[in-house]
Structure 1
Amino acid sequence: CTGLQAVITYAAKYCSKSEKKTEPYCKLADQVLPHTAHLQPLLSFSSRLMNKLIAERDYSAQEISHLLLNIPLQEGTRMVVSVDCRPLEQHARSYRVDEDVNETTGGYRKYLERNDQHEDVTYLEYLQSYNLKTWRRLAANAKKRVLAYFPRYKSMDASPQFNDFCRVKLMMAHPHRSPQELLVVSGQQFDSFAAAYKGCREHHDTHADDHYGEPDTNELRAEDDEFEPEVHEEPIAEEDWHELARMLPDRPLEEEDIDILGRRDIDINYDWAPHVGRYADDDILNGDYWKQRKAENPMDLDVDDQPLEARDSLNPEQRLVYDTVVDHFLTQDPSQLLLHVDGGGGTGKSYLINLLSAHLQAATGGRGTP
């Protein structure tokens, strides 16, 4: 099952497997409120809710640390942009509090208020191929951004969401200054987005693929048990020690009251002086702390000098890789070179890489480490 449709179907089945429903935040807060201390209610509620979140939603300590230190939770080779598909009046509004309270402009509003020089740029092109702040086009070799649409309206003609689906399709493909301009296609005014999109399909041959779907296409659904059978666990036969365990007193684990943290004897008697000011750096709050630490402590990536004659010691397979990389460098081909070098331990992979690095560094002259 290596075909594209088979892989998509398998992924759809895997992602659609049911799991234990997570408690919403409001219910977690309701469970915490009766146990809030009256002495410091805000601190008590926040602490208990944080612990409840970690226990209920399986937030790891590493994840919490990343959030507190403004470190991204993930990094990828492709940039993902969220696209709010709701009508403009329903878009979320955000504010920045500096010396004054200022409303920040969302991505869609920035597109609608663009300069005249970008008049013919579509919303799809703006999101995929432009710097969202400066309106500069991304580098020629840069991959287009991945768009994460929300919500995804149903594309069936009979669905009550079909008009919104057509509005999103027009919004991504047609340059416009206001959502109402989307009702005009090829100079003809339409009463609904569904009718306008129908006219668009009749008059316009092709539009760039926005990956939002096509009209009257069913959502991908995996067939039950298509790839793997459901696993049913056999009941566990009880052993003698289970009966013995039930005879023991039911004593729960001892718990520390979170409201007295900081006022226990172990907290009061501890010397906290070495820890004062450890995380008071302002750069931690704006996310520049680790960037500056890396700049202050650069890594020396220089490699050992290797004579040019050392390449004669390579075996035929190593020499093929060596010549491929060196030829690509000497021809100054701007395209990316991707190689997968595989082999067991002791086959000379590290020696080949070190030799290539040394010769490439020598060839670059004063341009620094390649």
Structure 2
Amino acid sequence: MEKRTDSYAGLGRQILPYVSHQNPLLSFASRLMNKLLGERDFSGQEICHILLNCELQEGTRVIRAVDCRPYEQQGRSLRLQGDHDDGEVVGIYEKYLSRLPLHEELTYLDFLANWNTSKRDGRKWTRWSRQAKPRVLYYFPRYKSNPRHHQYDDFCRVKLMLAHSHRDPSELRKIDGIEYDSYASAAEVCYAKHQHPDDYYGTPDAEERRPDPDEFEEEFHEPELLEEDWLELARQLPDCAPSQEAIDLLGRRDIDIQYDWTPHVGRYADPGIVQGDYWRHFIEQHRLYMDVEDLPLDVRDTLNPEQRVVYDTFIGHFQSGSEEQILLHV
């Protein structure tokens, strides 16, 4: 029998007493990632969700994964429908590159965050409602922004890919009609001449945030292993502060914005609903008159002690004239 797997909420409660107060978000994320790798066994259901590319969580904000690897290295997905009906699913980046001339000036960042591209026909693509917040983009992998690091050229390639409209990845090294030898050189010219909206991928030569030295127990020393993609993904830490959002999201979620509320308009038009006295007037207008049998007071002496307690409670509440609701568990 498969052992019951600890929930994410349970793991979070276990590490809360050890979260640093100086940088709580980074401390909590680092400890939770290490807890998942070191102590938590993933259930068969979660593994099936990962293999079948199913969602492991749901939230009020839509999260879209963005593959930042070079175009020729990006994976391709297959839709399994039958013995001979399997078909390849068009990737999100490939869909952007093959967009219609109608969306020629559309940048990849705007395409990912603000457009509904679920329709195959590009003419039916629509921008999300103004009330809907942009999609949260989850980038992977995140290349180093240090100009002295060997990943810096890939970092610049991703920045150019998000900011400049293009139809072929080879066009990213061309700025204002001039083609440069590397993505880093093209990005330097772009930073000097252009202004683009924040893509939240990172800032060039920004100091990398690291967890506190005491975040990890010294008695545990993992052996040096060859880093694989899933290991890098598991230990990836957030490198930007969370955006502050209003807690009361009811009415502004995607499901609320996209729903057609027309049939509900005017259904509850009574002014008493708005003023808060609807039920009080309704009860006064529809009083219940019950037939009650009158019994002599001597009958109460036949009640057992438990019944007498209930009787005295109700009689006392009635004689006090209190309008408050009586709460009694029998």
Sort the TM-score into its range (normalised by shorter chain): 0.5 to 0.7
Is residue 2:70 matched to residue 1:106?
no
What amino acid sits opposite 2:104 in the alignment? E
Give the number of equivalent residue pairs: 209
Q: Give, in whole Å, the separation in 2 of the partners of 1:347 and 1:74.
A: 43
Segments of structure 1 that go 5 or more residues without pairing to the other structure are: 1-5, 24-54, 233-302, 315-345, 349-370
Relative to structure 1, the CA distance from residue 312 to residue 197 in structure 2 (aligned partners, 3 Å threshold; closer, same or farther) is: closer
SS at match of 2:189: helix
SS at match of 1:81: strand
> Where in structure 2 are the equivalents of 1:339-350 lying within 5 Å?
none
Q: How much has 1:73 moved relative to structure 2? A: 4.0
SS at match of 1:216: coil
Q: Give, in whole Å, the separation in 1 of the partners of 2:25 and 2:173.
A: 37
Segments of structure 2 that go 5 or more residues without pairing to the other structure are: 1-19, 120-124, 220-266, 279-322, 326-330
Q: Give, in whole Å, the separation in 2 of the partners of 1:309 and 1:124.
A: 45
Relative to structure 1, the CA distance from residue 131 to residue 231 in structure 2 (aligned partners, 3 Å threshold; closer, same or farther) is: same
Q: Which of 199, 203, 216 is the matching residue for 2:205?
A: 216
Relative to structure 1, the CA distance from residue 100 to residue 8 in structure 2 (aligned partners, 3 Å threshold; closer, same or farther) is: farther
> Where in structure 2 are the equivalents of 1:86-97 lying within 5 Å?
86-97=69-80
Relative to structure 1, the CA distance from residue 215 to residue 65 in structure 2 (aligned partners, 3 Å threshold; closer, same or farther) is: closer
Alignment deviations for residues 20-58 of structure 1 (CA, whole Å, 9 cap, x no partner): 6848xxxxxxxxxxxxxxxxxxxxxxxxxxxxxxx9614
Indicate the residue corresponding to 1:36 in structure 2. Answer: none
Indicate the residue corresponding to 1:84 in structure 2. Answer: 67
SS at match of 2:192: helix
Q: Give, in whole Å, the separation in 2 of the partners of 1:78 and 1:105.
A: 24
SS at match of 1:19: helix
What amino acid sits opposite 2:103 in the alignment? H
Indicate the residue corresponding to 2:303 in structure 1. Answer: none
**Percent identity over the alignment?**
43
Relative to structure 1, the CA distance from residue 7 to residue 75 in structure 2 (aligned partners, 3 Å threshold; closer, same or farther) is: farther
Native 8 Å contact 1:9 1:220 kept in 2: no
Q: Which of 186, 189, 196 is the matching residue for 2:179?
A: 189
Q: Which of 193, 198, 203 is the matching residue for 2:193?
A: 203
Cα-Cα RMSD: 4.2
SS at match of 2:172: helix
Q: Give, in whole Å, the separation in 2 of the partners of 1:306 and 1:165.
A: 59
What amino acid sits opposite 1:122 in the alignment? T
Q: How much has 1:67 moved relative to structure 2? A: 8.8
Q: How much has 1:97 moved relative to structure 2? A: 3.5
Q: Give, in whole Å, the separation in 2 of the partners of 1:219 and 1:80.
A: 24
Q: How much has 1:114 moved relative to structure 2? A: 0.2
What amino acid sits opposite 2:155 in the alignment? F
Native 8 Å contact 1:186 1:203 kept in 2: no
Relative to structure 1, the CA distance from residue 223 to residue 172 in structure 2 (aligned partners, 3 Å threshold; closer, same or farther) is: same
Q: Give, in whole Å, the separation in 1 of the partners of 2:176 and 2:50.
A: 49
Q: Give, in whole Å, the separation in 2 of the partners of 1:103 and 1:130.
A: 22
Q: Give, in whole Å, the separation in 1 of the partners of 2:203 and 2:22.
A: 17
